[in-house]
Structure 1
Amino acid sequence: MSNMKTPGVYIVENSAFPNSVVEVATAVPAFIGYTQTASQNNRSVLKKPTRICSMAEFHDIFGVGANLRFGFAEAADEVSNNVSFSEKHYSVSTSGNNYRLYQSMQMFFLNGGGPCYIVSVGDYTTGIAKDALLAGITILLNEQEPTMLVIPDAISLTAADCYMVQQQMLMHCGGDARSRIALLDVHNGFQDEDDSVAAFRAGVSNKGIGDFGAVYFPWLNSTLVSDTDIDFGYLTEEGKATLRAVLNEELGRPDVTSDLGKLLADLTNNKTYADEFKLKDIDRTLRSKSVIYKALIQEVSRQLNLVPPSGAMAGLYTMTDNCDGVWQAPANIEVLGITSPALKISDEEQETLNVDINGKSINAIRSFTGKGNLVWGARTLDGNSVDWRYINVRRTVIMLEQSIKLAVKAYVFEPNNAQTWSSIKSMISSFLTSLWQCGGLVGATPAKAYSVRVGLGETMTSEDILDGDLRITVFVAITRPAEFIEIAFQQQMQKS
């Protein structure tokens, strides 16, 4: 030692082990949308990525969901989402902006969600705008931790604007960040499969970036809102007027001096029924006496509980990663908090969803007798790619790339020599061995599951070293799901 000048005994501690690769988090989604408030510790977090770990934290910082109102009007003929009475048809439809972030957060935590980021781009006094959601995507560029991107409010836009936002989500994940995957919903994914899926495939391109996105269909009938929590207060003033006319016709115009008659006479005004008429008592009375009112409440409940699947899928990704590992395909698992998918899909119908001529695979959520409502697909939006067809393969490689990238940063500006190469190779090999032992890589031995190459004449030339380039090549055999299982049966001759 050059600093030993005084006679004595000196102790030197030598490092026996190389640096290690630490596996990065894989289940941290980022949600972009509109919230009631955006304040943390009396400071605004509007348009600022905010990390939360529970629904309670969401309530503290971002408030609750919007008070959605419904229109109730006579329709010219039988329409979808309708209520019928005396050969007349009535449409029930949402009035104003349908903010969906709050619902998606409920489904996320209900299905196993954990830490996540929220980017609030506005409150409920502003309309849902494409530009605001796109700005939210840009804000996330400087955040390193998120590994999923979810924008449930995109489906409340027009179809064209929704597809534009979803296209930018794919561009962000597959072009700019390359460290996260986009979870997409099908616009109007509760309607006919042929129409909604065809429109999605025509509106969103997967060229070069499809493996960074996954799509789920159809929407889900959730249990977030109970029928008992809904009353005529959910109707617009115009809707109340229509309801009063329908109830007068159905109930035979009750005496205006009776409690029911007073209710019908005042149904369209702004009185506080909870104080003056005991709202819940009147609601129960209408439910017992009016068929049309009961059907109306059920239809409002159905629409309130109709949710896009991306929030629930983000939760299931998180649960799968935490329980089994990112290399496990997030499929053949039950979606919690729902009664059924909005549409029933058969084996024949799923064929066109799962395998598409342009590779735009869409994962189905299906109901199976005795098994529940299962995620029945594990493909990315690049379903024709042999390399990146499966969601777990793409997400595992993202984890490997980001983990190794962060670890190798410690060797920037180190001597580009054999000692450095050996340290890097040992560090990466140790990490991949651990991954192989957990089942993330396939092979009878570590040597068959992966290989790491680095060095002069192997991955670099003399010119590379002179230029300051250190090149590492990693080969890995990723676990792939058994998507198609064939069982062959053949008769044999009697032997005894």
Structure 2
Amino acid sequence: MPQNLKTPGIYIEEKNVFLGSVVEVATAIPAFIGYTEKASRNGKSLLNIPTRITSLAEYVELFGGAFNPLFKLETPYDGDRSKIIIGDTEFAIKYAEDNHLLFYNSIRLFYANGGGTCYIVSVGTYEVTGSLKIHKDQLLGKGLRSLEKEQEVTLVVIPEAVLLGKECYEVYKQVLIHCGEMQNRIGIFDLYDGYKSRVEEDDPIDFFRENIGTDFLSYAAAYYPWLHTTLVQKGEVSFRNLDPEIDLESILPEPNAKKLIMEFPKNEAEFRIAFQKEFPNISQIPEVTFNDFVNQKKVHLHFGLMATSPTYGSILEEIRCMVNLLPAAAALAGVYTMVDNNRGVWKSPANVSLNAVIKPAVEISPEGPENLNVHVSGKSINAIRTFPGVGTLVWGARTLDGNSLDWRYINVRRTIIMLEQSIKLALQSYVFEPNDANTWTTVKSMIVSFLTEKWKQGALAGSSPEDAFEVQIGLGATMTGLDILQGKMLVSVKLAIVRPAEFIVVTFQQQMQKS
């Protein structure tokens, strides 16, 4: 009723009948940290600024394209992962620099597997013709710290951490601490040397378990092995990817190819001489025009060699395979997004096929996941396997805390995060409200209504809402008189989260003939 009734008349009072509601927060918003070609929007730098994007086209507009790695040929072959035989000689194909970059292709892999909205944190840019040394401090410093103010992020992925070598596990430890303190996100990890098979003296699985630590393990999941993808097409690898020091004239056996290489300028001075011959009326060469001329010559040489030298084509194909070998974390971030959108965060992101993937880098036998999935250390590694007639599937659903009955499964951890954050945001409007029975009833009804809806959708286990969850609040239930005097309103929520049918056992036995 209106308080000040001093003038005769008719007064209208509106009352709220419906309770406040809990709105489900976003569940699959990954943040990718790494190195990009550029980082600017309208002339303003985006370095170390979490930037929300919704498509690969938006990424290219703000952060540019792929890094252009250089490769070298070495002989004798030393058992490296890629080789090519030219004549009677075995050459190892290696990256010309200590590190290469794979951030752009990882983003492509994310969108190929169902990715959507995400955050990009560029910690540095690279030159188109140069290389870049990855720094742990850049990834962890402003890169990871910049995510502390972004509440929407639910996944943290650092695809290029594996390029740090053994130092990548120092990065992962910091990500675990970050996720554990934020309590609203998890990390997705790759294994250093995850493209290698398991051997007793050099096992990437054991090395991971020995170096990942023991803190906040339920806030991350790891996947093995890396993936052979189809992202980089034939037209994306060319003469520009070969180290200038490679003597193709002596390596390629085809005479026509040797002739093309002999006619190709060897340095900038020769390029300028060739430019003057082709354009004799230009006295001063504009730098932009000259650069276009150099690139055009390289394109012509590439197509000429492709037409005359099968060996050259084989070298580029091996390089393309190397560039297409990527860690799996970005693909899994896309899988998480796709599963959340189609089924819900309570569905395990497993038994799902991977797109733009030829096969895993290491073939895992049916018995192989036993040591990955269940281990005395509890640090479960999720396998990626190929099944005949089916394709490449994600074959694991566990966090790194595999020995915990509470937090063993990824979907349990992520569902709890979603429920916690949704209820937390809804309760912010009740801070400083009277700590009395009216407020308690309102809060309880709001939470019960939200959890009932989640139960109907399949997030909670039980034949009825009473079996699926329990919400308690009130004096004598969750609070004492002292709690109320201290301004505390305590709410207790018990949940029965659905867990995956990880092991399905079908029993067969014979019975006596009955007729």
TM-score per shorter chain, which class? over 0.9
Which stretch of the first structure deviates more once superposed, 229-238 or 136-145? 229-238
Kept in 2, the 8 Å contact 1:69–1:235? The answer is yes
Kept in 2, the 8 Å contact 1:77–1:89? The answer is no
Query: In the alignment, which residue of structure 2 is the partner of 1:58?
Result: 59
Amino acid aligned to 1:182: G
Query: In the alignment, which residue of structure 2 is the partner of 1:95?
Result: 96
The correspondence of residues 18-417 of structure 1 with structure 2, limited to 5 A, is: 18-75=19-76, 77-96=78-97, 97-125=99-127, 126-135=132-141, 136-159=143-166, 161-174=167-180, 176-194=181-199, 195-205=203-213, 207-238=214-245, 240-241=246-247, 243-247=248-252, 250-251=253-254, 254=255, 259-266=256-263, 269-270=266-267, 272=294, 274-275=296-297, 278-288=300-310, 290=311, 293-417=312-436
Q: Are residues 221 and 329 of structure 1, via their aligned partners in 2, closer, same or farther at CA, if it must alter by over 3 Å?
A: same
Partner of 1:278: helix, strand, or coil? helix
Amino acid aligned to 2:450: F
Kept in 1, the 8 Å contact 2:257–2:305? The answer is no
Kept in 1, the 8 Å contact 2:239–2:298? The answer is no
Distance in 1 between residues matched to 2:298 and 2:20, nearest whole Å: 72
Kept in 2, the 8 Å contact 1:326–1:395? The answer is yes
Q: TM-score, normalised by structure 1?
A: 0.93
- Superposition deviation, residue 234 in structure 1: 1.2
What number of residue pairs does the alignment pair up? 480
For each residue in 1:206-243, what CA deviation from the matched residue of structure 2 results, as whole angstroms up to 9, or x when unmatched? x24111000011101111112344233311012x21x3
Q: Are residues 402 and 273 of structure 1, via their aligned partners in 2, closer, same or farther at CA, if it must alter by over 3 Å?
A: closer
Which stretch of the first structure deviates more once superposed, 65-74 or 481-490? 65-74
Which stretch of the first structure deviates more once superposed, 393-402 or 188-197? 188-197
For each residue in 1:38-68, what CA deviation from the matched residue of structure 2 results, as whole angstroms up to 9, or x when unmatched? 1112211111111110011101110111111
- Superposition deviation, residue 198 in structure 1: 1.3
- Superposition deviation, residue 245 in structure 1: 1.9
Kept in 1, the 8 Å contact 2:67–2:101? The answer is yes
Distance in 2 between residues matched to 1:277 and 1:380, nearest whole Å: 48
Structure 2: gaps of 5 or more residues: 272-293
Amino acid aligned to 1:278: H
Distance in 1 between residues matched to 2:475 and 2:249, nearest whole Å: 85
- Superposition deviation, residue 383 in structure 1: 0.6
Distance in 2 between residues matched to 1:300 and 1:286, nearest whole Å: 19
Aligned Cα RMSD in Å?
A: 1.7
For each residue in 1:237-262, what CA deviation from the matched residue of structure 2 results, as whole angstroms up to 9, or x when unmatched? 12x21x33222xx34xx3xxxx5332
Q: Are residues 266 and 171 of structure 1, via their aligned partners in 2, closer, same or farther at CA, if it must alter by over 3 Å?
A: farther
For each residue in 1:418-463, what CA deviation from the matched residue of structure 2 results, as whole angstroms up to 9, or x when unmatched? 1110000000000000000100001111111001000000001111
Q: Percent identity?
A: 47
Structure 1: gaps of 5 or more residues: none
Distance in 2 between residues matched to 1:80 and 1:127, nearest whole Å: 22
Kept in 1, the 8 Å contact 2:225–2:384? The answer is yes
Amino acid aligned to 2:198: E
Amino acid aligned to 1:214: A
Q: Are residues 273 and 154 of structure 1, via their aligned partners in 2, closer, same or farther at CA, if it must alter by over 3 Å?
A: closer
Distance in 1 between residues matched to 2:257 and 2:76, nearest whole Å: 26
Q: Are residues 432 and 47 of structure 1, via their aligned partners in 2, closer, same or farther at CA, if it must alter by over 3 Å?
A: same
Distance in 2 between residues matched to 1:111 and 1:486, nearest whole Å: 31
Kept in 2, the 8 Å contact 1:183–1:314? The answer is yes
